[in-house]
A and B are shown apart, each in its own frame.
Chain A
Amino acid sequence: MNSQNYYELYRLSSIGTALTDALDVLIGEGRISPQLAMKVLNNFDRVITETLSKNVDANLTFKGHLDTYRFCDEVWTFLLKDVTFKLQRSEMITADRVKIVSCNSKKPGEA
């Protein structure tokens, strides 16, 4: 097992839910144990955190209207409305509602 703990937050992403679903199927068929699935998920937590920080080189800015904010257990939750994301290459995305869930980047050991 990993000595360091990583945030489990990315399990909510599409790649995380896809993995969870795939693991659920295998557990349901009795082909892997839930314990093994947990190990895979822990590996996923580590790999996605490392990959996002090392293999992604993209910045974006966004503006919007803050509808709700919450800071609990070191986790910021923002509910934004009428958001405009500005990507590189001047690509723009608009969304009428986006939820942001954000963990502290300073203490990744204390997930």
Chain B
Amino acid sequence: MSNAAVGDVYQKIINDVLDSSGIDFEEAGVASVVLHELGAQWRKKLTDLRVATFPWDPAPQQPQPIPDNKKVNNSMQAKVKSEIPQQLPQQQQHMQHHPHQLVGGVHLKQEPNDQDGLGAINPNLAAMRAAQNIQMKYPTQEVPSGLQQVVAAGARPNGARPTGPGLMLPGSMGQSQIPQHDGASDIRPIPADEPAWRSNSGGVISREEADRIIERQMAEGRGMPQMDGPDDDDDEEDEDAINSDLDDPDEDDQGEAEDDEIPQIMLCTYEKVQRTKNKWKCVLKDGVLTVNGREYVFRKANGEYEW
């Protein structure tokens, strides 16, 4: 099998499909011109894919229509390698004069500002400049420290102090009217149907009474409702509860990871697929194989691989 056979095989497939579709076109009342155009389009699109050299292609301007990536890389590397020795002496001279040029055949355009560092983005420099400006505006040797902070934060450039009582600690409010932000209240409201609650006058129950109510509820099997988030024990289970590795979305994409490129795929039928332990053997038939941008056809393929 080789890539050269693909052109003839595909030529035959296209001709046969067009021939047998002629009747269908006639039955549908579509002019045979359209059928010819379909054939032309089909061949053109196949040529554009450049998976093989086809008989209908114009005389090969480039003997290898699409070199696959590896070939390109190899030839590029070879080229670079062959050029380096010739360029090296030159470059050494260059380097004495222009320390900013790089070795390896790549010449970088020199940035004129590069020397004094103006072209580079330097956050420290910016900070220095800001400090200098402040010094100039407030020559009295000490800049108010508060102002420095304000400038640093980039807020309130007038240096105005915030008005109002300033920072307040929660405790200074006097009253305990602080809204609770750290989850549900620990104090569980007692259900209205609780007998102890009804018997108690004034709506206030003592700690002992509350304990007793809870104990009774526990004895009745009602348990305590959990108010502080989900059970800690569940966390580990959550990770692999129902989900399995098969649900991983990226797992499946591996085969067609490069969607825009020509996929690396073999389409065929199987005659036999055998496995012993982790060793697989298979006999495949009537296949089309697309690898590294080239297409191959085969009648039979024997594969061995281990998992």
Contacts of B273 in A (CB 8 A): 71, 76, 102
> Contact mask A16-31 → B, CB, 8 Å, 1/0?
0111011101100001
* Band of interface residues on A: 35 or more
Contacts of A89 in B (CB 8 A): 2
Chain A, residue nearest B47 (CB)? A18
Given A58-B298, A99-B256, A99-B265 in contact, is the A105-B270 Cβ separation under 8 Å? yes
Contact A22 B2, beta carbon cutoff 8 Å:
no
Contact B38 A43, beta carbon cutoff 8 Å:
no
A-B contact count (CB 8 A): 221
Q: How far is the CB of A41 from chain B (nearest CB, A)?
A: 9
Judged by a CB distance under 8 angstroms, whether A88 is at the interface is yes
Alpha-carbon gap, A66 to B280, bound state (A): 8
Contact B291 A85, beta carbon cutoff 8 Å:
yes
Contacts of A61 in B (CB 8 A): 301-304
Given A26-B34, A55-B12, A103-B269 in contact, is the A39-B21 Cβ separation under 8 Å? yes
Judged by a CB distance under 8 angstroms, whether B88 is at the interface is no
Contact A88 B1, beta carbon cutoff 8 Å:
yes
Given A39-B21, A100-B265 in contact, is the A65-B305 Cβ separation under 8 Å? yes
Chain A, residue nearest B299 (CB)? A56
B28 partner, pick from A21, A36, A49, beta carbons under 8 A: A36
Contact A21 B45, beta carbon cutoff 8 Å:
yes
Alpha-carbon gap, A79 to B305, bound state (A): 11
> Contact mask B73-86 → A, CB, 8 Å, 1/0?
00000000000000
Judged by a CB distance under 8 angstroms, whether B290 is at the interface is yes
Contact B265 A43, beta carbon cutoff 8 Å:
no
* Band of interface residues on B: 35 or more
Contact A58 B299, beta carbon cutoff 8 Å:
yes
| A contacts with B: majority SS | mixed
Contact A22 B16, beta carbon cutoff 8 Å:
no
Judged by a CB distance under 8 angstroms, whether A53 is at the interface is yes
> Contact mask A66-93 → B, CB, 8 Å, 1/0?
1111010000101110010101110101
Contacts of B30 in A (CB 8 A): 31-32, 36
Given A12-B267, A26-B38 in contact, is the A62-B49 Cβ separation under 8 Å? no
B267 partner, pick from A9, A53, A69, A80, beta carbons under 8 A: A9
Most A Cβ at <10 Å: residue of B9, B28, B268? B268
Contact A14 B295, beta carbon cutoff 8 Å:
yes
Contact A63 B304, beta carbon cutoff 8 Å:
yes
Judged by a CB distance under 8 angstroms, whether B209 is at the interface is no
Judged by a CB distance under 8 angstroms, whether B197 is at the interface is no
Contact B305 A66, beta carbon cutoff 8 Å:
yes
Alpha-carbon gap, A34 to B268, bound state (A): 27
Alpha-carbon gap, A108 to B270, bound state (A): 11
17 examples of A-B residue contacts, CB within 8 angstroms: A13-B295, A15-B288, A19-B45, A52-B287, A58-B1, A60-B1, A61-B303, A62-B301, A64-B303, A65-B306, A85-B289, A85-B296, A89-B2, A91-B2, A98-B266, A99-B256, A100-B266
